[in-house]
Structure 1
Amino acid sequence: MTARSCPCGLPETYGACCGRFHAGAAAPTAERLMRSRYSAFVRQDGAYLLRTWHPRTRPERIDFDPGTRWTGLEILETGAGSAFHETGTVTFRASYRGGSLHERSRFERVGGAWVYVDGEFLD
């Protein structure tokens, strides 16, 4: 990843990729929301994470671990989650210095916008 590339791993600049979602544009698919949420963790954008969390499962605040350095995102599988669906899943592996997080996340539409519901840790 170069200094200008998006943390989510797509070959676009941050501004053209996840930055536009962080600035207020709606993610068109569950996968793009997942990628933008990963980028928000990298950038420690708690406001975006809370805004894109389902109201039913949203925590009151986000506490970032200051020692965590995210190093990459790999999308392993997607289920539904397109413009034609109301729900979707994204299975991913997010790497950090010293380990990785493997999760299957669930997403739903609320008011037409994709939001993160919850996830199941794998491995």
Structure 2
Amino acid sequence: MPDVNDNILHSGEELSDEQLKNYLKGYLSREDAHDIEERMVDDSFVNDAIEGLQQFSSNKKLDDYVRQLNQHLHQQMAEQKQRSYKRRLKDIPWIIQALIIVLLLCMLAYVVIMFVKEH
């Protein structure tokens, strides 16, 4: 199953980019076109998507733009994931790190003392 974020124009139960393109080209049946128009009335995102797609003069430009948007989206998500991982390491409080070091030193001292007592 493709990831929801794989395509900027397609997510979940929303219209696919192909449906939107076919609507703009007039390739859809009357019923399908009417369904899309109803969605445009109900959902401002669909309406904005249709208006935005109308601004492109050719499908090639549209496909290139969608590809660029998808690449940018994936790049931003990867950067955000990397920042989140780095932030997680920084979130460990210094007190906990100090306690761990002190406990390790205590255990090491105990082992050394026990070793010295035996000899």
Mark yes or no: TM-score above 0.5.
no
Compare the two structures and name the one with the higher strand fraction.
Answer: 1
Higher Cα Rg: structure 1 or 2? Answer: 2
TM-score, normalising length: structure 2:
0.24
TM-score, normalising length: structure 1:
0.23
